Structure 1
Amino acid sequence: MTVEGQHDIDGILNAGRVVARVRDAMLSAVEPGMTTAELDHLGAQLLDRLGAKSAPRVTYNFPGATCISVNEEAAHGIPGDRIIQAGDVVNVDVSAELDGYFADTGGTIAVPPAARVKAKLCHATELALKNAITEARAGAPINRIGQAIQRTARAHGFKVIMNLAGHGIGRSLHEEPEGIACFYDRLDTRRLQLGQVLAIEPFLSTKSTQVKEADDGWTLVGHPENLSAQFEHTIIVTRGAPIVATLSEACG
């Protein structure tokens, strides 16, 4: 969507605060021995308490309130009986609808004690998101977002997953512009528009550049030995630095 006034901005910011709070609570709760279903239950309870609805549930009938992906799972992991282990790379992706507005966010942690490469992967992906957001200004080419992500990945010795991408958001979970790539696509000539609402989400990996759907019909996985990380913010495009709707409360 494109915001048309302060009411729309407030709606996106309110939804953004909710998903950011749930994201941070879930990431803080991760510990060895808990199942991904238990982690999702925490997120579901908090969404309900804050008056929001799980976006993947209401949009796609996803079998969980949030998406939780571990190690070789890059995205859309179904919460279940998988037990989180020390050293796992755990991604939490939270999207929700509140009062007719949608916001989407995500974060990844390496459960201690973790190998240095796992912490480095998380750090590089978070930095890729930060660098991508600086490119999101009205009139700028959309492909600069992917260029910033790819440049950051390469600088840290990682790859990008090329068939996962960011997207427009606002009045529904997925809107135009679709396919905001994690790499530089020279054929993408689109430009960002003032007031557009976007979900920017770099996916960095250790081995895989492509993912495929698992037998469960939802989870997207790479090579069995691949590790990936995702960080995501919902933003509103301005003529200068974008408005980030999904900052942590301590950063807001």
Structure 2
Amino acid sequence: MIITTDEQLDKLKAIGRICAMAREAMATAMRPGMTTLELDEIGAKFLAGYGAVSAPVLTYDFPGATCISVNEEIAHGIPGNRVLAAGDLVNIDVSAELDGVFADCGASYILGKADKRLENLCRDGKKAMWAGINAVKAGGALADIGTAIGKVAKKGGYTLIRNLASHGVGASLHDEPGEIPTWPDRSERRKIQNGLVFTIEPFLSMGGQMAEQMYDDDEWTLTAEPLAPTVQYEHTVVATPRGAVVVTLAG
């Protein structure tokens, strides 16, 4: 999606804020002993209260209103009977549609106290996302995003999952210009168009290189290969000559 009018931007900001608030409501309500389905129901109810429709359900008939990935799972986790426990690493990814416009956001959380390394991973995952966001500028190179994220990863001794990328969003959940690398990629030659709407969502890992399906009876849930703790932080942004406008903020 390319933003060309104030009306388009207002609609994008509206659904972006709803997605962010739903994610925060879920994170605030998360407790040990709760199932991921119970957590998903909180997000589903929140979205419905604002007239928004789950984008994964609308687009892919996904079996849940949101994606909830726990510990070894890194993306597209299906809400179900898995019981959350203290110390779990939980990723909540919320995307939705309202008035024909889509937005997408995600974040990883530690339920209670956890290993210091996991706390550092979450801290640095946020840094990686914001490094990518700060590299956005209309007319600049899309490759600058992955380069900036790669510097954060290298400094912290982390790896980046290289087959889960940022993507265009707005008119659909996965929109033009398609996938955008969140890792250093010398083959990426495209420029950032003014008004382009897309996500910034690096997957920072303590050793994982790729995402792959692990469960024979589940075509959705992805884990890191090799298995390693992995976090994802995601915002939807609009490119302008002065930088990125982040639309998935709860405040």
What range is the shorter-chain TM-score in?
A: over 0.9
Distance 2:248 2:187 in 1: 30
Partner of 2:248: 246
Partner of 2:222: 220
Deviation at 1:32, TM superposition (A): 1.2
Aligned partners of 2:141 and 2:191 also within 8 Å: yes
Distance 1:134 1:225 in 2: 30
Deviation at 1:101, TM superposition (A): 0.4
Partner of 1:192: 192
Deviation at 1:34, TM superposition (A): 0.7
Residues 96-135 of structure 1: matches in 2 within 5 Å? 96-135=96-135
Over 3 Å counting, the alpha-carbon distance change for 1:136 and 1:22 in structure 2 is: same
Distance 1:223 1:180 in 2: 21
Distance 2:66 2:122 in 1: 20
Distance 1:12 1:208 in 2: 33
Is 1:139 the counterpart of 2:145 in the alignment?
no
Aligned partners of 1:27 and 1:107 also within 8 Å: no
Distance 1:27 1:177 in 2: 31
Deviation at 1:174, TM superposition (A): 0.2
Is 1:159 the counterpart of 2:189 in the alignment?
no
Deviation at 1:150, TM superposition (A): 1.4
TM (normalized to structure 2)?
0.97
Aligned partners of 1:109 and 1:119 also within 8 Å: no
Over 3 Å counting, the alpha-carbon distance change for 1:28 and 1:173 in structure 2 is: same
Please list every run of 5 or more consecutive structure 1 residues that lacks an aligned counterpart in the other structure: none
Partner of 2:173: 173
Q: Secondary structure at the match of 1:211?
A: strand
Distance 2:14 2:123 in 1: 27
Distance 2:52 2:38 in 1: 19
Deviations 1:111-164 (A, max 9, x none): 122000111111111111111101110011101111111111121221110110
Please list every run of 5 or more consecutive structure 2 residues that lacks an aligned counterpart in the other structure: none
Aligned partners of 2:209 and 2:225 also within 8 Å: no
Q: Secondary structure at the match of 1:237?
A: strand
Amino acid at match of 2:76: H
Q: Secondary structure at the match of 1:163?
A: coil
Deviation at 1:227, TM superposition (A): 0.9
Kindly report the root-mean-square deviation, in angstroms, between the aligned alpha carbons of the 2 structures. 1.0
Distance 1:114 1:11 in 2: 38
Aligned partners of 2:210 and 2:226 also within 8 Å: no
Partner of 2:92: 92
Q: Secondary structure at the match of 1:92?
A: strand
Report the more deviating stretch, 46-55 or 28-37.
28-37
Q: How many residues align?
A: 249
> Which aligned runs of 4 or more in structure 1 are off by greater than 6 angstroms?
none
Amino acid at match of 2:242: G
Distance 2:157 2:5 in 1: 42
Distance 1:97 1:179 in 2: 20
Distance 1:83 1:146 in 2: 35
Aligned partners of 1:105 and 1:233 also within 8 Å: yes
Amino acid at match of 2:228: N
Q: Secondary structure at the match of 2:68?
A: strand
Distance 1:225 1:75 in 2: 13
Partner of 2:150: 150
Deviation at 1:225, TM superposition (A): 4.4
Deviation at 1:102, TM superposition (A): 0.3
Amino acid at match of 2:233: F
Amino acid at match of 1:119: E
Distance 1:84 1:104 in 2: 24
TM (normalized to structure 1)?
0.96
Aligned partners of 1:142 and 1:192 also within 8 Å: yes
Report the more deviating stretch, 64-73 or 175-184.
175-184
Report the more deviating stretch, 189-198 or 215-224.
215-224
Q: Taking every aligned residue pair, what percent have the same amino acid on both sides?
A: 46
Q: Secondary structure at the match of 1:208?
A: coil
